[in-house]
Structure 1
Amino acid sequence: MPGPAVVELVGAGFAYEDGPAVLSGIDFAVPEGRSLAVLGRNGSGKTTLLRLLSGGLRCRSGRLRVAGEDVAYDRKGLTRLRTTVQLVVQDPDDQLFAASVGQDVSFGPMNLGLPEGEVRARVRAALEALDITALEDRPTHLLSYGQRKRAAIAGAVAMRPRVLILDEPTAGLDPHGQERLLAALDGLRGSGTTVVMATHDVDLALRWADDAAVLTPGGLRAGPVEELLGDAELLDAARLRRPWAMAVARLLRARGLMGADEPVPGTPEELDAWGARSARRG
């Protein structure tokens, strides 16, 4: 069962200056200890939603709450928010600015006024979590794209947030880079960090997330990922395609080859493993 909400939007709406409403009347809670995929077509408001959750944008209507309390957009309130919620934007070059990886990752903890020893410990732990310890002294401009992605995430992780929000973190990565990043995120989830990922990749969402939030022109709907991604009408409204894994599982179940309670294979490798197990049982 989902835990209590760490951060939530209540009746939230937002419009950019001189533009139409991007989001309106949004109720959205991020429960503790869950992995959550935010899905929607390009232009659906995913990035706006993430920025509202992290305090980068302020609701034009409604409110943002952290641990059940309304966020105050003063220095104290925003500091509390940013030690609870951290956003990593899609393009790491919009986030990295220091000369070296270690300096960049240390920037947030130093701004909190932490003792030098605590800063060093946080940097070391964040680099280890993202598997980039060897890059600590590497100039950021000499990193590969995938390394820059992980360095940007490490900078957020060093803040020790309860909720880590990622905007299209796998965009631009090759398959190997995606797998390395997902392994790092699994490690963070295992250590207690709640991870929210915006994506338009339904297959990735089905494989990775516990829950999903789907943005459509009619609003936002949230729930267990398999339930939402099995709703053809909802996916059509969001202009998202159906996950191949659910189509395969539906076919196998219709032919009596897969039990209704068996987990859906999320990757070709998982489907191969399922096939091998089925062959042994047969």
Structure 2
Amino acid sequence: MSPESPVVELVGAGFAYEDGPPVLDGVSFAVPRGRAMALLGRNGSGKTTLLRLLSGGLRVGRGRLLLDGEQVSYDRKGLTRLRTTVQLVVQDPDDQLFAASVEQDVSFGPMNLGLPREEVRARVAEALEALDIVALADRPTHLLSYGQRKRAAIAGAVAMRPRVLIMDEPTAGLDPHGQERLLEALARLRAAGTTVVMATHDVDLALRWADDAAVLSPQGLRTGPIAELLADDALLDAARLRRPWGMAVAAVLRAQGLLDEGAAGPRTPEELDAWVAAR
């Protein structure tokens, strides 16, 4: 398997819920290894459905789901192989956390794999460290703050040592400090080799964080470099997304002759302050 080939991929995938119209129809979507990808689209565009198809939580109605280029079978063996490679973290951590303590919750997945106790302990310690919640190991899950519950839910997925981590609106409900801590944790996971896919409504976060974007609109799915797609006003209008703050600022700076054409502009207010101070 070449480094450029996708880890997981939907090919011509379609899906409809019972007695409903198609949510996705003929969608092809590849998750490139080693990249950070933002999945963007309006409410009801099918983002959550797409994530669940990628992780095996839903079965494609038509088309194929591929893992390392091989079609996934939906039997026990095939789904175990998929779920040890691809892990989904849902939007509401309370839908994912169920054990009495953080450590017990994080250990559940590795224990279900039948791993030796020492291996389970090592994975739990690694996941707690990656999400910066070692001090919360013995804390009852119902006593955690919302941001702590978010990170505990992600730690449970990380303990499975997936090659692809998929998250549905992971920053929703977090204050700015909580968002920063989560992004720091994701940076550590990426540095360790994890491919990350994040569904989000926050175009500013997507531009700042992601390498690539996948945008769902009524015209279908488009993928490509994040800066290229979020500069396409027609695509943003179709997907009911606004232009990112950083791109609007860069356009003003270029119009005033303060930023060279093609040069990357500041993506956050903090980067703008630094840019001004450096001039």
TM-score range, shorter chain: over 0.9
Q: Please state how far the C-alpha of 1:264 moved relative to its aligned partner.
A: 2.8
Distance, in Å, in 2 between the alignment partners of 1:28 and 1:162 is 17
Q: Please state how far the C-alpha of 1:266 moved relative to its aligned partner.
A: 1.6
Q: Please state how far the C-alpha of 1:254 moved relative to its aligned partner.
A: 2.0
Q: How does 1:1-282 map to 2 (within 5 A)?
A: 3-277=4-278, 279=279
Q: Please state how far the C-alpha of 1:244 moved relative to its aligned partner.
A: 1.2
Distance, in Å, in 1 between the alignment partners of 2:265 and 2:59 is 39
Distance, in Å, in 2 between the alignment partners of 1:5 and 1:212 is 15
Which 5+ residue runs of structure 2 have no aligned equivalent? none
Q: Please state how far the C-alpha of 1:203 moved relative to its aligned partner.
A: 0.6
Tell me the amino acid that sits aligned with residue 252 of structure 2.
L
Distance, in Å, in 2 between the alignment partners of 1:118 and 1:128 is 15
SS at match of 1:197: strand
SS at match of 2:267: coil
Distance, in Å, in 2 between the alignment partners of 1:79 and 1:256 is 56
Q: Please state how far the C-alpha of 1:220 moved relative to its aligned partner.
A: 0.4
Tell me the amino acid that sits aligned with residue 57 of structure 1.
L
Determine if contact 1:100/1:140 at 8 Å carries over to the other structure: yes
The runs of 4+ residues in structure 1 deviating greater than 3 Å are none
Distance, in Å, in 2 between the alignment partners of 1:45 and 1:230 is 22
Determine if contact 1:14/1:24 at 8 Å carries over to the other structure: yes
Determine if contact 1:87/1:165 at 8 Å carries over to the other structure: yes
Task: Kindly provide the CA deviation profile for residues 244-264 of structure 1, in whole angstroms up to 9, marking residues without a partner as x.
Answer: 110110111122211234323
Distance, in Å, in 1 between the alignment partners of 2:260 and 2:5 is 32
Number of corresponding residues: 277
Distance, in Å, in 2 between the alignment partners of 1:36 and 1:53 is 14
Distance, in Å, in 2 between the alignment partners of 1:270 and 1:98 is 41
Tell me the amino acid that sits aligned with residue 62 of structure 1.
G
Tell me the amino acid that sits aligned with residue 152 of structure 2.
A
Tell me the amino acid that sits aligned with residue 198 of structure 1.
A
Q: Please state how far the C-alpha of 1:4 moved relative to its aligned partner.
A: 1.5
Determine if contact 2:245/2:268 at 8 Å carries over to the other structure: no
Task: Kindly provide the CA deviation profile for residues 100-152 of structure 1, in whole angstroms up to 9, marking residues without a partner as x.
Answer: 00000000000111111010000000000000000000000000000000000
Q: Please state how far the C-alpha of 1:88 moved relative to its aligned partner.
A: 0.1
Q: Please state how far the C-alpha of 1:276 moved relative to its aligned partner.
A: 1.3
Identity across the alignment (%): 80
The CA RMSD measured in Å over matched residues stands at 0.9
Tell me the amino acid that sits aligned with residue 28 of structure 1.
F
Determine if contact 1:3/1:33 at 8 Å carries over to the other structure: no
Give the TM-score of the pair, scaled to structure 1: 0.97
